[in-house]
Amino acid sequence: MAGLLEGRVAIVTGGGRGIGRAIAEALARAGAKVTITAARSNAELAASADAIAQTVGAERVLALTGDVSREADCRRVVDETVARFGALHILVNNAGRGYRFILDANAHLPEPERLKFWNTPVELWRTIIDTNVTGPFLMARAVVPHMLKARWGRILNIGVTFNSMRKGGNAPYGTSKATIEPATAIWAQDLAETGVTVNTLMPGGATQTGMATALSAAGGRKLLDPAIMGPPAVWLCSDEAADVTGARVDAKKWDTNRAGADSFIIARAPDLIPDA
């Protein structure tokens, strides 16, 4: 896949670790210049930027702090990316807050009182919804004008399995990630025939990320390597996927031994919102 994204510029939110870091590294190896973001400056963000720089050169990576739930931060990240690299073609909406926040809220509660939707703290709900729902909207809203001007763009929303969306005791996170599905469908239609595509990419199961906990691997469950997100992300962001929009892709089913178009047919997941 080397060179598949040569000349492209990407923003990967939440690019300091886990899925975001894996995708950012894959895009960079494929030729893209990459901005990675985190809500706050930290060692993980710096380490991710250093790893990319060592592979493709420091001039092709930019690490920025920015909270995706804040409109001003989203606009600043976009502006600084364009100022540094001269263009913007790809957005990966990966930043998110997940199950670990729910576990932390449960830590002081006895088992019968573990979080249900009716006793979920309002601030916890708002934190997760603001990051996982409003964040992708604000970032997409900020990048799309640049993509429309270029008549070329790729937006990848990071999704989850149906089981993760509907898991009991997981109301804020499950609800927030379920929202990605209609968002992808609607944005893809709104951007039809503009040269900008919108797709959802999911790992296909519990993944070893910053959100992972001991419970994720309960019962001997093996966590997925976030690196599996790289190959489908690169292909979906390439010219080869120009006709693919509004789709859900399961990275666990992606076959790197096949051509991208063939792998897409295998890895495409059923739409959760079928046409009426």
Residues marked as catalytic: 173
* Strand, coil or helix: 227: helix
- 234-267: b (≥16 Cβ within 10 Å) or e: bbbbbeebeebbbbbbbbbebeeeeebeebbeeb
Q: In angstroms, rounded to a whole number, what is the distance separating the alpha carbons of residues 116 and 227?
A: 33
The helix (H) or strand (E) run that includes residue 38 is strand 33-38
Following CA atoms 169, 171, 176, 181 in sequence, which dihedral angle do they give, to the nearest 10 degrees? 80
- What's the alpha-carbon Rg for the chain, to the nearest Å? 18
Select from 197, 202, 206, 140 the least CA-distant residue to 170. Answer: 206
Determine the residue type at 129: I
* Strand, coil or helix: 246: coil
* Residue 132 DSSP class: I
Backbone angles phi, psi at 93, to 5 degrees: -85, 85
* Strand, coil or helix: 101: helix
- Token pair, residue 156, equals 């990848």
Select from 169, 166, 164 the least CA-distant residue to 113. Answer: 169
